[in-house]
C-alpha cells in the first residue's frame, strides 16, 4: 500500500459542472491526523462562488425536476458502479485526511454503492394517489413534487457515506443541491463530485463548496432559492441552523448527535455482548453518532461484563490507519484529544475508576487509547455529553425501570441498544426507550433499506428506508372538473 500523499485527491470546488482550483481563493491546510502534518490545501469558496453555486442549482432544477424517474434511476446506478470501481483510492485518501483504518474506510465507501442503488430503486416509486371525488366528472389527484434547491452540510466522521446519502436523496427525488462537506477531511466529497460528474449528471445539479462553516451555512440558508436544509453534525450546531431555516419556513432534515444508552440485562449472553460492544465501539475510534456510549449493566452482570469488555478493548492496537496491523486509528482532530482528556478528568474527579487508557498516546499524531471508566456517576460530563471518541463509561442498574429512566434522562434520542435473552424484556424496553433506533442483541442500523434518524434533540426526519425522500418532496393536490358547474 502506497503511504505517500502523492496520489491524494486534487481538491477543488465543483460549481455548475466545473471543478475550480484555488486561483487566488483563500486556502485551508488539510492535516493527516496520524502525523499532525499538513499535506494538502483546500480552496475556500468566495461569496461569488456561493452565489454561483446556488444559481447553478436553481437553473439545473428547472430541467432536473422534469427528468423522468427512470433516467434519474439510471444515473444513480452508474454512480453505484463508479463507487465500487474507485473505492480503494477514495478509501485510502479518507484514511489520510480522516484517520480511520483503511479496511473501515473501504467498507464505508463500498456500502455507499448500495445506498445509491437503493435510491435508484426507490425513486421510481415516488407515487401519487387518486382520491374518489364527491361529484361526477371531478378528478382529485395528489402528487409529490421535488421541493427545489437543497443546501447540505456534512461532517468528517463518515465523509463519503454521510454526503452520499444526502446527495442521492436530493437527486433521486428531483431536487438539486449545494453541498458543503467537511473541510478537515475533504477528499471524499471531491471524489464524490467526480463520480457524479463522470456518471453524466447534468451541470448544476450537484455543487460542492468549502469555507468557514458558519459563514457558508448562513449564506446558503439565507439564499432565497434554497428551499431545504439538510445537516449532519452536533446538536448544538443543528439547533443554530434549524432556527435560521425555521425563521424562513424552510424544510429541514437534521441528523444530530446522540449519547446512545446500552442496557445489558443479567439474562443476556453477557460476555458475548461485552466483546461485541467493544468491537463496535472501536469503529472509527468511537467517532460515530450511533456508537454505544453510556453503558448501563445490571448489577448482577456488572463484573463479568467489565472483565470481558476490558479484555477485548484494552489491548487494541492504535496506530496509523494505513498500517494493516492497526485496529483503531487516531482521532480526527487535535480538539477531539482535548475533549477526551477533559471528560476523563471530570469523571475521575467525581469518583469514577480508570480501568485502562485515559491519556494521549504521543504528541505527533492525534492518538487516544481505548479508555474505560467504571462507577461513573450519572452527573459526570461523560454521562451527559456525547463523548464522540474511544472513552467508555460503565455503570450499574438495579431494575428495568431504573435503567429506562436513566437511559431516557438526556435530551438526546438517536440510537439505543438492549442486550437480553427475554423477549418480554426486549419488547418492553424497545417500546419505552426514547430513541429513533433500537438495536436488540446486535447493531443492525444504518442499512440503505432502514430509516436512520433521531428524536428529541437528536434531530428530525429520516434518511434511508422508504422514508428517504419524504424530506425532499412537497405534496400537491389537484382537483379537476370536466366543466364549470
Ligand atoms: P463541531 O460542532 O465544531 O462540528 C461538527 C460538524 O459541523 C463539522 O463537520 C463542522 O464542519 C460542522 N459545522 C460546525 N459549525 C457549523 C456551522 N455553523 N454551519 C455548518 N456546519 C457547521 O464539532 P467537532 O469538534 O467537529 O465535532 C465534535 C462534535 O460534533 C461531536 O461531539 C458530535 O456531537 C458532533 N458530530 C456529529 C456527527 C454525526 O454524525 N451526527 C458527525 C460529526 C460530529
φ, ψ (nearest 5 deg) of residue 409: -75, -20
Nearest-angstrom CA–CA distance, 342 and 472:
40
Cα-to-centroid distance, 345 and ligand 1 (Å):
23
Of 148, 143, 83, the C-alpha closest to 112 is: 83
Of 114, 241, 224, 120, the C-alpha closest to 180 is: 241
Nearest-angstrom CA–CA distance, 160 and 188:
5
pLDDT digits (tens, 9 = 90+) for 198-221: 999 999 999 999 999 999 999 999
Q: Is 157 in the pocket of ligand 1 (CB under 6 A)?
A: yes
C-alpha cell at 277: 460492544
Catalytic, 205? Answer no
The length of the chain in residues reads 485
Q: Whose CA is nearest to atom 40 of ligand 1?
A: 289
Which domains are assigned to the chain? 3-256+460-475 (3.40.605.10), 260-448 (3.40.309.10)
- Angle 187-198/161-173 helices, nearest 10 degrees? 30
Of 34, 3, 2, 5, the C-alpha closest to 329 is: 34
Catalytic, 108? Answer no
Cα-to-centroid distance, 130 and ligand 1 (Å):
43
Predicted local confidence at residue 5, as pLDDT: 76
Residue 442 pLDDT > 70? yes
Cα-to-centroid distance, 259 and ligand 1 (Å):
15
Of 295, 296, 302, the C-alpha closest to 280 is: 295
pTM: predicted TM-score of the whole model, two decimal places: 0.97
pLDDT digits (tens, 9 = 90+) for 245-286: 999 999 999 999 999 999 999 999 999 999 999 999 999 999
Catalytic residue among 123, 150, 175, 289: 289
Atom of ligand 1 nearest to the CA of 236: 2
Predicted local confidence at residue 3, as pLDDT: 57
Question: How many CB atoms sit inside 10 A of residue 465's CB?
Answer: 16
Q: Is 388 in the pocket of ligand 1 (CB under 6 A)?
A: yes
Amino acid at each position: 500500500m502506497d503511504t505517500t500523499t502523492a496520489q491524494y485527491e486534487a481538491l477543488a470546488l465543483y460549481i455548475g459542472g466545473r471543478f475550480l482550483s484555488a486561483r487566488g481563493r483563500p486556502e485551508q491546510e488539510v492535516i493527516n491526523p496520524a502525523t499532525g502534518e499538513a499535506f494538502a490545501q483546500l480552496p475556500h469558496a468566495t461569496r461569488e462562488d456561493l452565489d454561483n453555486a446556488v444559481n447553478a442549482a436553481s437553473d439545473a432544477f428547472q430541467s432536473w425536476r422534469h427528468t423522468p424517474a427512470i433516467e434519474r434511476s439510471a444515473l444513480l446506478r452508474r454512480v453505484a458502479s463508479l463507487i465500487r470501481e474507485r473505492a480503494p483510492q477514495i478509501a485510502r485518501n479518507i484514511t489520510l485526511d480522516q484517520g480511520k483504518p483503511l479496511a473501515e474506510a473501504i467498507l464505508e465507501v463500498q456500502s455507499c454503492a448500495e445506498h445509491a442503488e437503493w435510491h435508484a430503486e426507490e425513486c421510481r416509486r415516488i407515487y401519487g394517489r387518486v382520491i374518489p371525488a364527491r361529484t361526477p366528472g371531478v378528478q382529485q389527484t395528489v402528487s409529490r413534487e421535488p421541493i427545489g434547491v437543497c443546501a447540505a452540510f456534512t461532517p468528517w466522521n463518515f465523509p463519503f457515506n454521510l454526503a452520499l446519502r444526502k446527495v442521492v436523496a436530493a437527486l433521486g427525488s428531483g431536487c438539486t443541491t449545494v453541498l458543503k462537506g467537511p473541510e478537515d477531511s475533504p477528499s471524499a466529497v471531491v471524489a464524490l463530485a467526480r463520480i457524479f460528474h463522470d456518471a453524466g449528471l447534468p451541470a448544476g445539479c450537484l455543487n460542492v463548496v468549502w469555507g468557514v462553516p458558519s459563514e457558508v451555512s448562513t449564506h446558503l440558508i439565507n439564499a432565497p432559492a434554497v428551499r431545504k436544509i439538510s445537516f449532519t453534525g452536533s446538536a448544538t450546531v443543528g439547533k443554530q441552523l434549524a432556527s435560521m431555516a425555521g425563521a424562513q419556513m424552510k424544510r429541514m432534515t437534521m441528523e444530530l448527535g446522540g449519547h446512545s444508552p446500552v442496557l445489558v440485562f443479567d439474562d443476556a449472553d453477557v460476555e458475548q455482548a461485552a466483546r461485541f460492544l467493544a468491537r463496535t465501539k472501536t469503529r472509527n475510534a468511537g467517532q460515530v453518532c450511533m456508537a454505544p456510549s453510556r453503558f448501563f449493566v445490571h448489577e448482577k452482570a456488572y463484573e463479568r461484563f467489565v472483565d470481558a469488555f476490558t479484555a477485548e478493548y484494552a489491548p487494541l492496537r492504535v496506530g496509523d490507519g494505513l498500517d494493516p496491523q492497526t485496529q483503531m486509528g487516531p482521532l480526527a482532530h487535535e480538539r477531539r484529544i482535548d475533549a477526551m482528556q477533559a471528560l476523563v478528568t471530570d469523571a475521575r474527579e467525581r469518583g469514577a475508576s480508570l480501568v485502562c487508557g485515559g491519556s494521549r498516546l504521543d504528541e505527533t499524531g492525534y492518538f487516544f487509547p481505548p479508555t474505560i471508566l467504571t462507577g461513573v456517576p450519572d452527573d459526570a460530563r461523560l454521562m451527559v455529553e456525547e463523548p464522540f471518541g474511544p472513552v467508555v463509561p460503565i455503570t450499574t442498574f438495579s431494575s428495568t425501570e431504573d435503567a429506562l429512566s436513566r437511559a431516557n434522562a438526556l435530551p438526546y434520542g438517536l440510537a439505543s441498544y438492549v442486550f437480553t435473552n427475554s423477549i418480554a424484556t426486549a419488547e418492553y424496553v424497545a417500546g419505552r426507550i426514547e430513541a429513533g433506533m433500537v438495536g436488540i442483541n446486535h447493531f443492525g442500523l444504518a442499512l440503505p433499506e432502514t430509516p436512520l434518524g433521531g428524536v428529541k434533540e437528536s434531530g428530525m426526519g429520516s434518511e434511508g428506508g422508504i422514508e428517504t425522500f419524504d424530506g425532499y418532496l412537497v405534496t400537491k393536490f389537484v382537483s379537476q372538473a370536466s366543466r364549470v358547474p
